[in-house]
């Protein structure tokens, strides 16, 4: 008999994945954590019933979240990742020349343990001496940093979605965006994913409205990620200086998705997406 994982992308839509086996399942203090081996994309991490990352297409999300901001910034030395416990984002960030210090603030230590066990490709950089892992709520971490002089050049939020009552909800508030801005060096950049617009259009509107008020520049870009509902996935940036739509530095390593052309094209928004954005 076939096994299937069923994800509810919205109240009116379900996605089904044929799975070879369930590898791991537990309830942590923060969320339900599950690892399955899918027939289509290999190992996959599921948090609170939502597919987070799969071996088959993780490179798209991680490369686009890391390289678009980091290659638009003239000299990103200090990078903060909020969430990111599967390790895929820090792996890409650490490939960027000049990055000296990366802090990853992940709320759930079990996600990191599980990733180390079942996602060796994601976690291959977790022992890099430039990476410092802090187990704490990202919103609380930023509050506690309010008066520290060490700021960040780039802040990336690689969290679960804001919907529901999971820990990701604390990273989509106006207070959080204010703390992010305060934690950036002059000319700094922050990027957060703004979800799958066909199923959660309100996330893009909510984030752009707030970030557009707080940052001199608010920009949205997108990528196609087969794993996420509808295939189209959006990212929104708040910038204190750089225009993210133009890469200004090159990457001296191979990629599977990112190129300078893809970077520029990601900012070409169909009117459908433009209409969801609420900046003035
Ligand atoms: N790429 C995925 C996606 O968008 O579907 C998300 C990756 S998953 C690694 C997101 C991580 O964010 C989880 O490990 C989760 O524990 C963490 N997270 C959620 N809320 C958080 C918070 N408030 N502070 C820190 N980490 C958080």
**210 annotated binding-site participant:** no
Residue 84 Cβ contacting ligand 1 at under 6 Å: yes
Q: Is 165 a catalytic residue?
A: no
Among candidate residues 239, 264, 226, the one with its CA nearest the CA of residue 54 = 226
Whole-prediction pTM: 0.97
Among candidate residues 79, 191, 68, the one with its CA nearest the CA of residue 128 = 79
State the average pLDDT for the chain: 96
Long-range contacts of 96-102 (CB under 8 A, 24+ apart): 96/66, 96/67, 96/70, 96/71, 96/251, 97/249, 97/251, 97/252, 99/70, 99/130, 100/130, 101/77, 101/130, 101/132, 102/78, 102/128, 102/130, 102/131, 102/132
Select 4-54's CATH number: 2.60.40.10, 1.10.645.10, 3.40.109.10, 2.30.140.10. 2.30.140.10
Max distance between CA atoms of the chain, in angstroms, equals 59
Mutate to test the pocket of ligand 1, among 9, 63, 159 (most ligand atoms within 8 A of CB): 159
Which candidate in 48, 158, 179, 210 is catalytic?
A: 158
Say if CB 251 and CB 71 are below 8 A apart: yes
Question: Measuring from atom 27 of ligand 1, which residue has the nearest CA?
Answer: 83
Residue 113 Cβ contacting ligand 1 at under 6 Å: no
Whole-angstrom distance, CA of residue 94 vs CA of residue 89: 9
Task: Determine the distance separating the centroid of ligand 1 and the alpha carbon of 1, expressed in angstroms.
Answer: 33
Q: What is the pLDDT of residues 194-246, one digit of tens each?
A: 999 999 999 999 999 999 999 999 999 999 999 999 999 999 999 999 999 99
Mutate to test the pocket of ligand 1, among 167, 207, 236 (most ligand atoms within 8 A of CB): 167
Whole-angstrom distance, CA of residue 86 vs CA of residue 71: 22
CA distances, 280 to each of 217, 219, 268 (Å)? 11, 12, 18
Whole-angstrom distance, CA of residue 105 vs CA of residue 144: 12
Among candidate residues 94, 127, 101, the one with its CA nearest the CA of residue 112 = 127
Q: What is the pLDDT of residues 80-139, one digit of tens each?
A: 999 999 999 999 999 999 999 999 999 999 999 999 999 999 999 999 999 999 999 999
Residue 92 Cβ contacting ligand 1 at under 6 Å: no
E strand or H helix that includes residue 148: none
Model confidence at 252, in pLDDT bands (50, 70, 90)? confident
Topology at the third CATH level for domain 58-278: Rossmann fold (3.40.50)
Residue 9: is its pLDDT beyond 80?
no
Q: What residue segments make up the domains of the chain, in order of their start?
A: 4-54, 58-278
**160 annotated binding-site participant:** yes
Residue 86 Cβ contacting ligand 1 at under 6 Å: yes
């Amino acid at each position: 008999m076939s096994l299937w994982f069923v994800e509810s992308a919205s109240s009116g839509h379900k996605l089904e994945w044929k799975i070879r086996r369930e590898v791991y399942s537990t309830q942590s203090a923060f969320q339900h954590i599950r690892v399955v081996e899918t027939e289509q994309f290999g190992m996959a991490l599921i948090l609170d019933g939502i597919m987070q990352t799969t071996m088959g297409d993780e490179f798209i999300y991680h490369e686009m979240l890391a390289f678009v901001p980091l290659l638009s910034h003239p000299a990103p030395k200090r990078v903060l990742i909020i969430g990111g416990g599967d390790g895929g984002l820090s792996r890409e960030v650490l490939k960027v020349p000049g990055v000296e210090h990366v802090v990853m603030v992940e709320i759930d230590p079990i996600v990191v343990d599980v990733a180390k066990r079942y996602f060796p490709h994601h976690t291959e950089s977790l022992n890099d001496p430039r990476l410092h892992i802090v187990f704490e709520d990202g919103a609380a971490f930023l509050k506690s940093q309010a008066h520290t002089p060490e700021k960040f050049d780039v802040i990336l939020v690689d969290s679960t979605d804001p919907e529901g009552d999971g820990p990701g909800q604390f990273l989509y508030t106006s207070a959080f965006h204010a703390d992010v801005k305060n934690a950036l060096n002059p000319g700094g950049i922050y990027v957060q994913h703004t979800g799958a617009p066909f199923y959660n259009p309100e996330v893009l509107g909510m984030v752009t409205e707030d970030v557009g008020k707080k940052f001199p520049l608010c920009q949205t870009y997108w990528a196609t990620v087969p794993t996420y509902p509808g295939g189209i996935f959006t990212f929104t940036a708040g910038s204190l200086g750089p225009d993210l739509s133009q890469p200004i530095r090159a990457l001296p390593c191979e990629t599977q998705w990112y190129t300078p052309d893809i970077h520029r094209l990601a900012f070409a928004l169909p009117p459908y997406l433009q209409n969801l954005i609420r900046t003035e």
